């Protein structure tokens, strides 16, 4: 037997407990791996051909295993977290991914210079590139992923459908042919019957995918899908499938090794999506019975064995309301949502990837892989849910997160002060929680979301709170049309901010004045100056001042009376509130401890430029501070005659009329 590789170390014994729940019987098992490598090489150093959150994720496991990590970075990522975490880091070019993270030649060159034995591609970018996997093989570098033949067969959706049908995996009716003329595709769409789904054969993550509901919109949607596919995966070949209305998106995690073994690690439900991209994932799938779970797993294993699969992969299925399921596609890489599978199985999937790439057998048999508890993953994005989830970019001026523990994971590649770049995916982080059952996990998820506070750009955190609190979501009645179906409840029209929050905002401003007045009093010798006192004290009368705040576009006038006992009376319209409180610091954050008409609360307070941000268990509130017209030279709506883009992007086509 060959000597054990550097990745052949003890599987760590780990038991995960929850502060609110009894200890769970955990799936980690202490065992010594004695398998030699089929490659005949040790893996002691890897290059991560990716960025951001997934690069950080791989580096953490590599560090745990004693494997050195090498990062690559573009100009936009020069000061990124994954660069700081890695043992070595190499610059590979300008911010656009085509010139950096998608440049196979540059990455291979770094791999040679840094003398790594293997490359982990993460997800996205080159992770499902048959050409890159083949290039690694030619250069004598281990590609931590499946063989290029599996990537080829599963990466081309038309080919994968044929292979799955031959393997006895149920598939959806569609067209997967070579004739890519507009007329041919249109004819097949009509034959299949609208609505249809048109997909790029090499697409993924919703890229190059469109739902077409009538022949009238076919041409426009086809052209749009082709443009997006060409830009993202450099291949605009399309396939057409019958669109199953309101289906569930259920996927199965599989693992194969070089010895012919394949196992499944149960299913994830990823049904709740916007813009054809996942936003909430959970494992196991709600309401799926053990016998259906077994059939799903066995079908996924058949799919993997049909292409001699090695490493981590995901077999995705469409499931109807009767729990019939049909093969959709196979992702030949680690998925964004892999942490929920790790949480319910106790298995480090990245560690398994490195072990199997080094030639070891799968550490556990199918019978040894057990499912315990329930896990959720919420993707936190820089986007505006109120503007059709338009992605955004900009600085993370303030960033604070819930406390990570054994049942709460925060997967991220950014920290306060970093910038979400226009050049890459706008995902800020993944919040992952585990509990003994679905309801307990959902409660923990909502609690943790309230402690995820971001200032500097629009995020979907409040939307995630609304989504996870919806009665139908709580009941597990999820499907891919969930957000459009419940749009009005999830994104209600803007309501006036509660007057109690306006009082908190006014109190925060008043209390922030105190240290500034104190500083002025110390600096000036005129102790009678009105600027040296913020108490509002007057002889024989109580001082009243008027403050104006902005609730959206609406100006709110608050009459604030300074009472002799240090409290305040605040009148908003015809209602008066008795208000008192103080500021205190906790770590790097400022909190407002207040009492409004006898109701005490603790609220995080951030005042930046002309906005007051309040974060509490009730959610987050933004209150504006009006700017005098003479201080505002340019309107926020832009100058007259200018055009404002709804999101950052690249102009692909300019339509003109002659």
**Closest-CA residue to 146 (of 303, 268, 377):** 303
Between CA 200 and CA 232 the distance in angstroms is 10
Residue 621: its H or E element: strand 619-624
Q: CA quadruple 459, 462, 468, 473: dihedral positive or negative?
A: negative
Preceding peptide of 195 cis, ω within 30°: yes
DSSP string computed for 312-333: EEEEEEEE-TT--EEEEEEE-S
At 58 the three-state DSSP class reads helix
> Coil, strand or helix: which one is 597?
coil
Active site residue 333: yes
DSSP SS3 for 34: coil
Of 226, 333, 379, 438, the catalytic one is 333
Residue 390 CB contacts under 8 Å (≥ 6 apart), including other chains: 383, 384, 646, 647
Contacts of 528 (CB under 8 A, 6+ apart): none
Alpha-carbon span 351 to 144, nearest angstrom: 11
Burial degree of 530 (CB within 10 A; 0-12, 13-18, 19+): exposed
* 324 to 247, 268, 315, 501: CA distances (angstroms): 10, 16, 15, 49
CB atoms within 10 A of CB 235: 16
Whether 120 and 57 have beta carbons less than 8 Å apart is answered as no
Separation of alpha carbons 78 and 33, rounded Å:
38
How many other C-beta atoms lie within 10 A of the C-beta of residue 515? 11
Print the SS3 string covering 280-307.
EEEECCCCCCHHHHHHHHHHHHHHHHHC
Helical spans, DSSP H, in 66-103 = 81-85
Enumerate the active-site residues.
333
């Amino acid at each position: 037997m060959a000597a054990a590789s550097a990745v052949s170390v003890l599987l760590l014994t780990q038991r995960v407990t929850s502060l609110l729940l009894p200890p769970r019987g955990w799936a980690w098992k202490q065992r010594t791996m004695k398998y030699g490598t089929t490659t005949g090489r040790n893996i002691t150093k890897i290059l991560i051909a990716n960025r951001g959150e997934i690069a950080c994720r791989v580096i953490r496991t590599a560090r745990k295993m004693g494997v050195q990590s090498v990062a690559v970075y573009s100009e936009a990522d020069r000061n990124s977290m994954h660069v700081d975490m890695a043992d070595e880091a190499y610059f590979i070019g300008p911010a656009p991914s085509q010139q950096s993270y998608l440049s196979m030649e540059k990455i291979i060159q770094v791999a040679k210079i840094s003398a790594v034995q293997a490359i982990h591609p993460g997800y996205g970018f080159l992770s499902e590139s048959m050409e890159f996997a083949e290039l690694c093989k030619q250069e004598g570098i281990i590609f931590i992923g499946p063989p290029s033949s599996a990537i080829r067969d599963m990466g081309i959706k038309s080919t994968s459908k044929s292979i799955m049908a031959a393997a006895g995996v149920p598939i959806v009716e569609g067209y997967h042919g070579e004739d890519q003329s507009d007329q041919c595709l249109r004819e097949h769409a009509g034959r299949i019957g609208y609505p249809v789904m048109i997909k790029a054969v090499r697409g993924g993550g919703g890229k190059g995918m469109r739902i077409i509901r009538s022949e009238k919109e076919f041409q426009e949607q086809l052209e749009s899908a082709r443009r997006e596919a060409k830009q993202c995966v450099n291949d605009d070949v399309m396939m057409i499938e019958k669109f199953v209305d309101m289906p569930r998106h259920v996927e199965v995690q599989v693992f194969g090794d070089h010895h012919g073994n394949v196992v499944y690690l149960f299913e994830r439900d990823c049904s709740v999506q916007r813009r054809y991209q996942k936003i909430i994932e959970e494992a196991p799938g709600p309401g799926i019975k053990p016998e259906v779970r077994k059939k799903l797993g066995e079908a996924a294993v058949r799919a993997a064995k049909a292409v001699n699969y090695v490493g981590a992969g995901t077999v995705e299925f469409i499931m109807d309301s009767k729990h019939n399921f049909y093969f959709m596609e196979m992702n030949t890489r680690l998925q964004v949502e892999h942490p929920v599978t790790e949480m319910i199985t106790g298995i480090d999937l990245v560690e398994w990837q490195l072990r199997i790439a080094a030639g070891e057998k799968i550490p556990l048999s199918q019978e040894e892989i057990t499912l315990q508890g329930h896990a959720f993953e919420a993707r936190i994005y820089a986007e505006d849910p109120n503007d059709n989830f338009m992605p955004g970019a900009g600085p993370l001026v303030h960033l604070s997160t819930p406390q990570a523990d054994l049942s709460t994971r925060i997967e991220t590649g950014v920290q306060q002060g970093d910038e979400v770049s226009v050049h890459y995916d706008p995902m800020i982080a993944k919040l992952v929680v585990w509990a003994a059952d679905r309801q307990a996990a959902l409660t923990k998820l909502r609690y943790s979301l309230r402690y995820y506070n971001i200032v500097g750009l629009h995020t979907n955190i409040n939307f995630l709170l609304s989504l996870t609190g919806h009665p139908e979501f709580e009941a597990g009645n999820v499907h891919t049309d969930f957000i459009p179906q419940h749009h009005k409840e999830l994104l209600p029209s803007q309501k006036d901010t509660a007057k109690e929050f306006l009082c908190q905002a006014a109190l925060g401003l008043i209390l922030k004045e105190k240290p500034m007045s104190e500083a002025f009093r110390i600096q000036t010798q005129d102790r009678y100056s009105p600027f040296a006192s913020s108490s509002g004290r007057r002889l024989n009368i109580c001082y009243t001042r008027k403050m104006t705040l902005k609730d959206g576009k609406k100006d709110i006038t608050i009459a604030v009376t300074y009472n002799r006992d240090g409290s305040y009376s605040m009148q908003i319209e015809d209602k008066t509130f008795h208000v008192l409180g103080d500021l205190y610091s906790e770590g790097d954050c400022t909190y407002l401890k207040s009492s409004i008409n006898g109701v005490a609360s603790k609220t995080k307070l951030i005042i930046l430029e002309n906005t007051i941000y309040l974060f509490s268990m009730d959610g987050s509130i933004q209150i504006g501070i009006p700017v005098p017209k003479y201080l505002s030279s340019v309107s926020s709506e832009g100058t007259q005659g200018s055009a404002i883009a709804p999101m950052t992007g690249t102009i692909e086509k300019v339509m003109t009329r002659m």
